[in-house]
Each structure stands twice: as C-alpha cells, then as structure tokens.
Amino acid sequence: MDPLKRKTYPDDHWLRSHDPEKALAAYLDQQSKAYSRAKNAFILELLGDLKGKRFLDYGCGAGMFTVHAALEGAAEVVGVDAEDTALSTAVHFARQERVHHLCRFIHSEEFPSFSSRGRFDVVLMKDVIEHVPDDQGLLRDAAASVVPGGLIVLSTQNSLSLNYLLQGTYHRVLRKDKEWFGWDETHLRFYTAMSLQKKLQVAGFQSVAWRSVYLIPYKLPPLPSSDKKFVRLNALSWIDKKLGGIFPYNRLGWNIIVKAEASRRVTQPVSLAPLTIRELPAAPALMTRESVRVK
C-alpha cells in the first residue's frame, strides 16, 4: 500500500464551498481559460460519441463532463468524488441543465465496487490520478469497472514538458522545494507518458491515443509593475490545437491525456472490498440561468 495520503484543498477553494451557485461560477470561470478549453476539447474528442453508453466520471468535481454525458444521451451516467461539497455543486449543475434525473452522484473516498452487470463502457479520470495515494490500485479498480474492450480517458500533469523544465527547475532545484508538484498543492506526484503507459499496461489497459496541451507556456509571471497575478498569452494555445494531437508533441505537453482500452479477454471483474458510499439526493429547485455546455 502506498504510504502517501490524499491531500485536501484549503477551505477557501471552490471545491470546499458550501454555496453551490458560487462554487459553480468559480469552476466555470476556471474552465473558460484557454488552457482548460484546449484540454477539454481533446477530452471530448477522445471520449467520442457517448450516446447509449454507460459512463463513469471518477473525480467528477463540479460535474462538467457528467452533465455533458447526460446531455449527449448516455444510457447511464455516474459521477463520483471524494469531496461532498464538489458533488453538491455537480448536483446543482445537473439540475440547472435539467439532466439531474439522468445522473447518479456518489460520495466516496475510494473507487466504488460495481457488479459485473454494472460495468461501464467509458470511464473518465480528468486530473485525478496524481491526487490518489495508490495510483496503481486505482487503475486496477478502474479496469474491473469496465466491460471487456471498454475505454478509460485519463489526464494528468507531465514532467517531460517544457513547463516542467522551467517551473520545476525553479521550484525543485533552485528553491529546493521537493514538495512542489505543479499548479495544484494537493498533487502527490508527476507522470510522463512512458510511466503512465506502464501503469496502464499493468492494470490491463492498452493506450490507443494521446493528446497534450500547454506545449508552450502561455500563463506567465507578471511584470514587476503589474497588479495582475499572471500574464496570459492565450493566443499561444493555437499551438496545442495544431500540435497537441501529433506525435511526439502529443506526449510532451504540461498536461497529457490518454485514451486506453481494457483487455477484451477480461470476463470477470476484480473483487473489490466493500465500501461505504453515499449517494447525494437531488438538490432543491434552482434559479434558471443560461445553459453552459462543454465546447
């Protein structure tokens, strides 16, 4: 068992907010940035057509892709997260998009156990694996939750990237901060495409497609005279769109995204230990606002 423990977000992070409306607004603002738009576009491409599929969004956060799957006609949609406040925001979002009756949300610290009849066609883990102490165990449990030939789409930060060379050298070498694991203080480790592929293979997955974003850093430190936290050169995100799907650049961005297929020879799911999980009830009626979709 990995001795690491999952790190929790500070109380002022949107994930910990007990006001779903404010949390959702903060989350959608975050997802509107050029980096997130480029990454989300690639994730949508790799997920493909979800109509009629059984879809699991593990580490669903505020539920953007959970809601997307429901809107796209997935046969079953399940969102799982360790933060109950994040799930409350996801329920809020699903009700706002009028798909709450199509979604099931589960609060769980661990990967829930699903029966052989309840396995999924597609599992998404967007920026999750770097938070989980037992990452190999997580992938093994994911393999047990998909049908033979089922898909997993996974994204994470990549140490074999220009941004890591720049920021990682500054934080980990010059400042000697060995606890720096990227932009999120709750991360536990970095990956490369090679290390991630090896872990997927051990779990029974075979990678079939790669994408990457933030090939060239475009969120930069501000000038000394500026009152801004960052200078964003968003026009540089076109490089991600042009090169992020082409080898070898599709494995060299700050964030790498992989689609992998489970072995078609798997006929029985791995037996998982029983877990205490809690499904969130439907949220109260919400104010109407303009629909927001992933684009």
Q: Give CA–CA dist 171/24, Å, rounded.
A: 31
Indicate if the alpha-carbon torsion angle 20, 83, 28, 234 is positive or negative.
positive
CB atoms within 10 A of CB 214: 26
pLDDT of residue 4: 77
Q: Is a pLDDT exceeding 70 seen at residue 281?
A: no
Helix crossing, 84-96 with 64-71: angle to 10°? 30
Asked if residues 204 and 262 have their Cβ atoms less than 8 Å apart, the reply is yes
**Where is pLDDT greater, at 226 or 201?**
201
To which residue do tokens 């689609």 refer? 259
109 vs 82: CA distance, rounded Å: 5
> Which pLDDT belongs to residue 269?
42
- Whether 165 has a pLDDT exceeding 50, the answer reads yes
CA–centroid distance for 148 within its chain? 22
**% of residues, the chain, pLDDT over 90:** 75
The pTM of the full predicted model, rounded to 2 decimals, is 0.88
Interval 121-150: pLDDT, tens: 999 999 999 999 999 999 999 999 999 999
Is the Cα dihedral 66, 130, 151, 148 positive or negative? negative
**Residues 200 and 209 sit within 8 Å (Cβ to Cβ):** no
List phi, psi (to 5°) of 190: -110, 165
Long-range contacts of 241-248 (CB under 8 A, 24+ apart): 241/38, 241/41, 243/215, 244/38, 244/42, 244/211, 244/212, 244/213, 244/215, 245/42, 245/45, 245/211, 247/210
Least confident of 119-123, 170-174, 187-191, 267-271: 267-271
* pLDDT mean over 158-185: 94
Domains and CATH numbers, the chain: 14-265+274-279 (3.40.50.150)
